[in-house]
């Protein structure tokens, strides 16, 4: 979003700041030429290896030894490959996640074809008390009400519950539904959040006096080159430069984020890369010594998967996927609702203003784009895992599917 507007997420809802600085700005990742082109779709091989630098940084901040961290990441990658294969075969689970050991857990009815196939593939099968489908329906009921006091609506698959994150008194409509479905809903206090707006993924892209961080390359069927981004970064349209006052590198095409329209929003957008410029699948490591590139394509890893993000404000920070399909209520500095955004992933990765649009990767795959995070959150630059931090993320696969684009430079 543009930096002239200051929007906060309340509770689990993020408050957005269009740009990191005082003008309308956005941050994007700078790209280099020659990115590989891969398609998104079922059956993609999600096996890949983290670099020794990535493993070492994760281990330093996770409390695990290098060998233990490496083994955990390998188990997570294998589990995500199994999940991808199961889904590609047409099986439909009522939730899936990775446990603390990196092993795959799926929710399915005992004795069903899904349960039998998952067991045969080595996954743990659990019955659901509520399940992802019913919880998503309940989330939709809440999202259609007055979201006053709501920061975010989180579909917690491992906990088999809907979490209402709030930083203020809930509206009468929300409270009524929370009371009615109290067995499936948990209300927790949470700080307000803010969107993070400051040509390789993670590089700073500027407009006016503010910036966002670059996302990932994509193409349409005609081969035209675009960049998938957080929609609030290019909500106002226009062109963007690499660095403050640098050369123009792209122009906005579309954004599904609309402030103050009273309609449901998505934090999805894309831009057209100038003919003389290029954006690759490489991601800026910001001196962390880690390979955070995403040459293998776009992926939607299971909850529990560890990943890292590159952004122009905080560099490379790491965490894990906590949940998908969060609905986040954005409000401005006056407490006025700016936008209600659905479809966001929540992670324990630390972000700050200016990181918006920045690239999340896991094992060589493009996973997400920074949307927002808690107001006042501070991050250690290139800090790896940082306890107690969080961010909201736009999944890359959803963004590509939304606009009918294919991943790659």
Of 17, 62, 160, 232, catalytic: 232
Does 408 fall in a domain?
Answer: yes
pLDDT score recorded for residue 87: 93
Mean pLDDT over residues 209-221, rounded?
A: 94
pLDDT bucket at 1, cuts 50 / 70 / 90: very low
Higher-pLDDT residue of 278 and 8 is 278
Are the C-beta atoms of 107 and 86 separated by less than 8 Å?
no
pLDDT bucket at 409, cuts 50 / 70 / 90: confident
Q: Distance (Å, rounded) from C-alpha 73 to C-alpha 243?
A: 34
Does 116 fall in a domain?
Answer: no
Q: Distance (Å, rounded) from C-alpha 334 to C-alpha 336?
A: 5
In the chain, how many domains are there? 1
Does 100 fall in a domain?
Answer: no
Mean pLDDT over residues 277-300, rounded?
A: 90
Mean pLDDT over residues 79-105, rounded?
A: 94
Mean pLDDT over residues 160-189, rounded?
A: 91
Q: Above pLDDT 70, what percent of the chain?
A: 85
Of 356, 371, 390, 391, catalytic: 356
pLDDT score recorded for residue 16: 33
Are the C-beta atoms of 257 and 333 separated by less than 8 Å?
no
pLDDT score recorded for residue 33: 26
Roughly what angle, to the nearest 10 degrees, separates helices 113-120 and 66-88? 140
User: Is 398 labeled as catalytic in the residue annotation?
Assistant: no
Q: Distance (Å, rounded) from C-alpha 283 to C-alpha 278?
A: 13
pLDDT bucket at 156, cuts 50 / 70 / 90: very high
Task: Supply the mean pLDDT for the chain.
Answer: 84
Tokens representing 106 are 């799926």
Tokens representing 156 are 């917690």
Quick one: the chain helix, strand, coil %, rounded to 5?
20, 35, 45
Does 189 fall in a domain?
Answer: yes
Maximum distance among all Cα pairs of the chain, rounded to whole angstroms = 62
pLDDT bucket at 166, cuts 50 / 70 / 90: confident
pLDDT score recorded for residue 190: 86
User: Is 267 labeled as catalytic in the residue annotation?
Assistant: yes
pLDDT score recorded for residue 387: 94
Does 254 fall in a domain?
Answer: yes
pLDDT score recorded for residue 405: 98
Does 124 fall in a domain?
Answer: no
Mean pLDDT over residues 246-256, rounded?
A: 93
Q: Above pLDDT 90, what percent of the chain?
A: 64
Of 84, 265, 267, 352, catalytic: 267
Provide the whole-model pTM: 0.71
Task: Using the predicted structure, report yes or no on whether residue 104 has a pLDDT greater than 60.
Answer: yes
Task: Using the predicted structure, report yes or no on whether residue 240 has a pLDDT greater than 50.
Answer: yes
Task: Using the predicted structure, report yes or no on whether residue 206 has a pLDDT greater than 90.
Answer: yes
Does 95 fall in a domain?
Answer: no
Task: Using the predicted structure, report yes or no on whether residue 132 has a pLDDT greater than 90.
Answer: yes
Task: Using the predicted structure, report yes or no on whether residue 245 has a pLDDT greater than 80.
Answer: yes
Spatial neighbors of 219 by CB under 8 A, at least 6 apart, are 37, 225, 226, 405, 406, 408
Does 28 fall in a domain?
Answer: yes
Higher-pLDDT residue of 34 and 171 is 171
pLDDT bucket at 200, cuts 50 / 70 / 90: confident
pLDDT bucket at 36, cuts 50 / 70 / 90: very low
- Return the CA Rg of the chain: 20
Task: Using the predicted structure, report yes or no on whether residue 14 has a pLDDT greater than 70.
Answer: no
Higher-pLDDT residue of 79 and 28 is 79
Q: How do residues 38-64 score in pLDDT, each as one tens digit? A: 223 333 333 346 778 778 888 888 889
Mean pLDDT over residues 129-153, rounded?
A: 90
Q: Distance (Å, rounded) from C-alpha 375 to C-alpha 119?
A: 43
User: Is 84 labeled as catalytic in the residue annotation?
Assistant: no
Residue that is written with structure tokens 């990765």 in the block: 349
φ, ψ of residue 87 in degrees (nearest 5) = -65, -40
pLDDT score recorded for residue 195: 54
Q: Which structural domain, as residue segments, surrounds residue 252?
A: 1-72+131-409
Mean pLDDT over residues 260-281, rounded?
A: 92
Task: Using the predicted structure, report yes or no on whether residue 68 has a pLDDT greater than 50.
Answer: yes
DSSP track, 176-237: HHHHHTTTTEEEEE---EEE-B--BBT-EEEETTEEEE--EEEE-TT--EEEEE-GGGGTT-
Q: Going along 58-208, which residue ranges are E strands?
A: 96-98, 104-107, 124-126, 150-156, 161-166, 185-189, 193-195, 204-207
pLDDT score recorded for residue 133: 93
């Amino acid at each position: 979003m543009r930096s002239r507007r200051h929007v906060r997420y309340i509770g689990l809802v993020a408050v957005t700041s269009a740009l990191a600085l005082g003008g309308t700005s956005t941050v994007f990742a700078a790209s280099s030429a020659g990115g590989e082109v891969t398609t998104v779709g079922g059956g993609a091989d999600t096996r890949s290896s983290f670099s020794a630098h990535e493993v070492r940084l994760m281990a330093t901040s996770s409390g695990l030894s290098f060998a233990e961290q490496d083994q955990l990441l390998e188990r997570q990658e294998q589990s995500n490959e199994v999940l991808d294969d199961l889904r590609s075969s047409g099986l439909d689970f009522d939730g899936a996640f990775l446990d603390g050991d990196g092993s795959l857990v799926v929710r399915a009815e005992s004795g069903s074809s899904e349960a039998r196939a998952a067991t045969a593939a080595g996954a743990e099968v659990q019955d659901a008390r509520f399940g992802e489908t019913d919880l998503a329906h309940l989330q939709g009921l809440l999202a259609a009400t007055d979201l006053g006091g709501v920061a975010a609506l989180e579909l917690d698959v491992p906990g088999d519950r809907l979490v209402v994150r709030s930083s203020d008194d809930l509206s009468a409509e929300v409270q009524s539904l929370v009371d009615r479905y109290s067995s499936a809903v948990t209300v927790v206090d949470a700080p307000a959040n803010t969107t993070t707006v400051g040509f390789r993924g993670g590089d700073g892209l500027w407009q006016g006096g503010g910036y966002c961080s670059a996302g990932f390359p994509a193409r349409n069927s005609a081969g035209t080159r675009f960049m998938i981004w957080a929609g609030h970064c290019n909500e106002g349209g226009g062109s963007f430069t690499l660095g403050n006052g640098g050369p123009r590198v792209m122009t906005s095409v579309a954004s599904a984020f609309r402030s103050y329209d009273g309609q449901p929003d998505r934090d999805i957008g894309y831009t057209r890369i100038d003919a003389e410029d290029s954006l690759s699948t490489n991601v800026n490591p910001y001196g962390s010594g880690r390979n955070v590139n995403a040459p293998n394509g776009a992926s939607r890893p299971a909850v529990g998967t560890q990943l890292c993000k590159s952004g122009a404000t905080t560099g490379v920070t790491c965490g894990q996927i906590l949940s998908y399909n969060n609905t986040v209520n954005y409000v401005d500095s006056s407490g006025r609702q700016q936008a209600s955004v659905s479809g966001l992933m929540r992670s324990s990765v630390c972000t700050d203003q200016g990181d918006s649009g920045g690239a999340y990767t896991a094992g060589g795959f493009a996973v997400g784009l920074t949307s927002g995070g808690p107001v006042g959150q501070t991050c250690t630059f290139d800090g790896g895992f940082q306890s107690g931090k969080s961010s909201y993320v736009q999944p890359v696969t959803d963004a590509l599917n939304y606009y009918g684009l294919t991943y790659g430079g």
